[in-house]
Amino acid sequence: MEKFFKIAERGSNPAQEFRAGITTFLAMAYIIAVNPALLAAAGVPISAAITATCLGGGIMTILMGLFSNRPLACASGMGVNAVVAFSLTPITGGDWHASMAVIFIEGVAILLLVLCGLREAIMDAIPVNLRHAISVGLGLFIAMIGLKNSGIIVANESTLVALGNIFSPSFIVGVISIVATVVLYSARVKGSLLIGIILAVLAGIPLGVTASPTGIVSGLDFSTFGAPFLTDEAGVMGIVKALTTPVLLVFAFSLMMSDFFDTMGSAMAIAKQGDFLTEDGNVKDIKQILIVDSAAAAAGGLFGASSITTFIESASGAADGGRTGLSSIFTGLLFISAAFIAPLISIVSSAATCGALVLVGFLMMSEVTEIDWNDLLEGFPAFMVIAGIPMTYSISDGIGFGFIFYVVVALVTGNVKKVKPLMWVATLAFVAYFIIAN
C-alpha cells in the first residue's frame, strides 16, 4: 500500500487518510438528500436517485483515488441537478432520460477534450496571478456556501444578502460549528474539522436541527442505470432525442463549459490544501484528475445521477490531512455504504459542516498575497475572479470574468503579446457561453 499511495512520502499515515476521508464525506453528505430531492422534481424515482447518487459518487471517488492518488472526491454536482430538474426536463417534454443523455453527451465530449490535451493546455495558458485569484475566489465561495447552508447569511430583496436570524436553530448550530472548529484548529488538535462537524451534529439534537433518522437500512433501486439508452412512452431513446434536438445540444455545450472550468478551479483549491499545488500554480497529476472527472460526468448521466464532478468540499478533507488517494477511497466506500443506510447519514445537517467550510475558506485566502496588485493587467482580472466567483455563486462565471477582463486590459494597455493563443480561445468560448446561457 505504501508503494502505491506513497503515504509516508507525503507526510501522512493510514489513520490520517481515514480521518480526512470521513471529513470529506461528512462535508459532502448533504448531496445524498439534496440530489434525489431535486431529481425527483424531474420525475426520477427517488429511491433510484438515492442509489444512483451514492453509488455513482462512491465509484467515481474510488477511481479518482486509484487513478490520480490525490485527495479529491466526486459526487453529483449542485446546480447541474437543478438544471436537469427545472430546465432540461421541461424542454424534453418531461423525459428525464433525455436530460441524462445530455449530461452523458457533455461528459463524453469533455473527456475527449482531456484526452486530446486541450483542457490541460488551457490550464497551462492561464496567467499565474489568475490561478492565485481562483484559489482566493473559491475560498470566499466555500465560506459563503457554509454560511448560507447554516442560515448565517440569507437572501434579501433589498440588499441581496443579509445576516440571518440569530435565534434560528440552524444559525446557532452554524456558529457552534465555526467556534468549535476554530478552537480545535488553533489548539492543533488532529482532525479538528471532523470533530467540529461531529460536535455540531450533537449540538443540533436538542435544537431540532439534527433530525432523527427515519430508519437505518434502505434498499437499492437500479432503475435509472443506463438512463440515456432507456426509451420514453413513444419508444424513443433519450440519447437519440438529445442528439436530434438542437436546443438540447446547446445545453450540452453550456454544461460542458461550466464543467470544464468548475473542475479546474476546484482542483486548484483542493491542491492548495492538499499540498500538491506548485509555486507557479500548477496542479500535480492534473491530467489524471481531469480524465476521471470528465469520465465521472458521463457516468453521472449513465447512472441517472446528474453530472458527477469533483466536489470543492474535498478541500475540507485535504485541510484535515488528506494527502493521497487513500482518503478518497475511504470517502468512496462511505458513499457506497450510504446507499444502504441513507436515512442514517442524512442526519448530518448542512449547518453542521459550516465550520469546516469557513475554516477552509480562511486558509485559502493566503493566496491573495501572491497577486501583484500594482500591475493593472495582473491585478484587475484577478479581482474580477475573486469578486465574481462568490457574487455570481458560480465558479465558471467568475473564472470567465477574469479571462475576459484579462484580454480587455491587455488590449488597452498594449500587452496583447502576453495573451497566449489558448487564452484567446477560452475567452471567446466564455463570451459564447455567457450569450447562450442568458
Query: Quick one: which of 105, 94, 46 has its CA closest to 223?
Result: 46
Q: Which of 212-221, 270-279, 288-297, 334-343 is predicted most confidently? A: 288-297
Mean pLDDT of 416-426: 90
124-169 pLDDT per residue, tens: 788 888 888 888 888 898 889 889 989 999 999 899 999 999 999 9
- Average pLDDT across the chain, whole number: 90
User: What is the pLDDT confidence band of residue 47, given thresholds at 50, 70 and 90?
Assistant: confident
* CB contact set of 284 (below 8 Å; sequence gap of 6+): 70, 271, 276, 277, 278
State how beta strands 74-76 and 160-163 pair: unpaired
Percent of the chain surpassing pLDDT 70: 100
Higher pLDDT, 243 or 38: 243
User: What is the pLDDT confidence band of residue 312, given thresholds at 50, 70 and 90?
Assistant: confident
User: What is the pLDDT confidence band of residue 303, given thresholds at 50, 70 and 90?
Assistant: very high
Mean pLDDT of 60-77: 96
The whole-number pLDDT of residue 403 equals 92
Mean pLDDT of 60-89: 90
Higher pLDDT, 376 or 435: 376
Q: Per-residue pLDDT for 410 more than 90?
A: yes
Q: Per-residue pLDDT for 85 more than 90?
A: no
- Chain mean position to CA 298: 16
User: What is the pLDDT confidence band of residue 40, given thresholds at 50, 70 and 90?
Assistant: confident
Q: Per-residue pLDDT for 46 more than 90?
A: no
Q: List the beta bridge partners of residue 155.
A: 161
The whole-number pLDDT of residue 242 equals 93
What element of type H or E holds 162? strand 160-163
What element of type H or E holds 197? helix 192-207
The whole-number pLDDT of residue 66 equals 97
Please say whether the beta carbons of 262 and 296 come within 8 A: no
User: What is the pLDDT confidence band of residue 184, given thresholds at 50, 70 and 90?
Assistant: very high
The whole-number pLDDT of residue 129 equals 87
Q: Per-residue pLDDT for 77 more than 90?
A: no
The whole-number pLDDT of residue 22 equals 95
Q: Per-residue pLDDT for 332 more than 90?
A: yes
Please say whether the beta carbons of 335 and 289 come within 8 A: no
* Cell numbers that stand for 199 in this block: 460536535
User: What is the pLDDT confidence band of residue 298, given thresholds at 50, 70 and 90?
Assistant: very high
Mean pLDDT of 216-237: 88
| Domain ranges for the chain | 1-125+213-349
User: What is the pLDDT confidence band of residue 295, given thresholds at 50, 70 and 90?
Assistant: very high
Q: Per-residue pLDDT for 190 more than 80?
A: no
The pTM assigned to this predicted structure is 0.79
DSSP 348-395: S-GGGGHHHHHHHHHHHGGGGGGS-TT-HHHHHHHHHHHHHHHHHT-H
Q: Per-residue pLDDT for 56 more than 90?
A: yes
Percent of the chain surpassing pLDDT 90: 55
